[in-house]
Amino acid sequence: MLYTMTLLVLGVGYLFAMIQVFEVYAGRDGKPGLSKTDLVIAYSGSHSDTRLEASLKGAMKGMLPAQEREIIFGWIHMNGGVVHRGGGEEEFNKVVKPIIEKRCLTCHGGQNPHIVKLSNFTDVSRVVAKDTGMDVFSLIRISHIHLFGLTFIFFISSMIFVQTYIHPMWLKTLLIATPFIGILLDIASWYLTKIYTGFAWVVMIGGALMMLVFATQWVVSMYQMWFYKGPPEL
């Protein structure tokens, strides 16, 4: 009964964890569902345009003449695309602010809380900040939580699973080792995705391995506890 109840509650917990993962990461690339791109954006940032550029090439294109748009793009790409607060602000006030005041503030002056406010340098900085994904300190915080938490989950579930009857032995061993390797692969890849975006695949593979093994351990343990009589030779 202890094992059954523990597996039941852990199973529900795992479901909620999967919903949470989906809620947090799916759709970041603008397409529904969870993809490699969503994870790349989460861990290493969007490598395409800043929000301001994307909107001026898209929905906001008609709001200003092309040559004024080029002036704003020029300002964004000064200093190698990093809008430094010091020098960037001076230049902003000189060349960008007049354009925004003339063309944008009728809608972006802060009157409507659902439209991004662009009335000063700080507001505009927010839509041109380079998106570099989750910062390392946040990653460290969630790393230690996951390392401890997932180890507890798989230790408990594997302690139940070791008592099942499974042959060949290597298969059982593999089913016990895999989730722990999955945890390490998954978490290491959060950091590695910042360096090389291909590691987003490893994040997905690590997560998928953990989920598959958890489901297998769960089903086999439950089935053998309640229905399986064991092979005749036992």
| Residues lying near ligand HEC in the complex (CB under 6 A) | 51-52, 55-56, 59-60, 63-64, 100, 103-104, 106-108, 115-116, 127
Q: Which is nearer to ligand HEC, 41 or 192 (CB)?
A: 41
Tokens representing 212? 């598959």
Q: State in angstroms the smallest separation of the CB of 119 from ligand HEC.
A: 11
Based on CB atoms, which residue is closest to ligand HEC, 59 or 234? 59
Q: What is the spatial distance between Cα 6 and Cα 54, in angstroms, rounded to a whole number?
A: 49
Q: Which of 116/156 has CB closer to ligand HEC?
A: 116
Nearest CB to ligand HEC, comparing residues 60 and 95 = 60
Angle at 20 between CA 17 and CA 22, to 5 degrees: 115
- Listed residue (232, 172, 181) closest to 208, CA to CA: 181
Minimum Å distance from CB 122 to ligand HEC? 14
Say which amino acid occupies 151.
Answer: T
* Whole-number CA gyration radius for the chain: 26
Nearer to ligand HEC, 4 or 106 (CB): 106
Q: What gap in Å lies between CA 197 and CA 87, rounded to an integer?
A: 32
For residue 172, the Cα-to-chain-centroid distance in whole angstroms is 32
CA-wise closest residue to 15 among 227, 229, 218: 218
**Which amino acid appears at position 210 of this protein?**
M
CB of 80 to ligand HEC, least distance (A): 21
Which residues 6+ apart lie within 8 Å of 151 measured at CB? 180, 183
At its nearest, how many Å lie between ligand HEC and the CB of residue 128?
A: 9
Q: How near is the Cβ of 117 to ligand HEC at its closest, in Å?
A: 10
Whichever of 15 and 107 has its CB closer to ligand HEC, that residue is: 107
Determine the Cα–Cα distance for residues 84 and 129; give it in Å rounded to an integer: 10
In the bound complex, what is the minimum distance in angstroms from residue 115's beta carbon to ligand HEC?
5
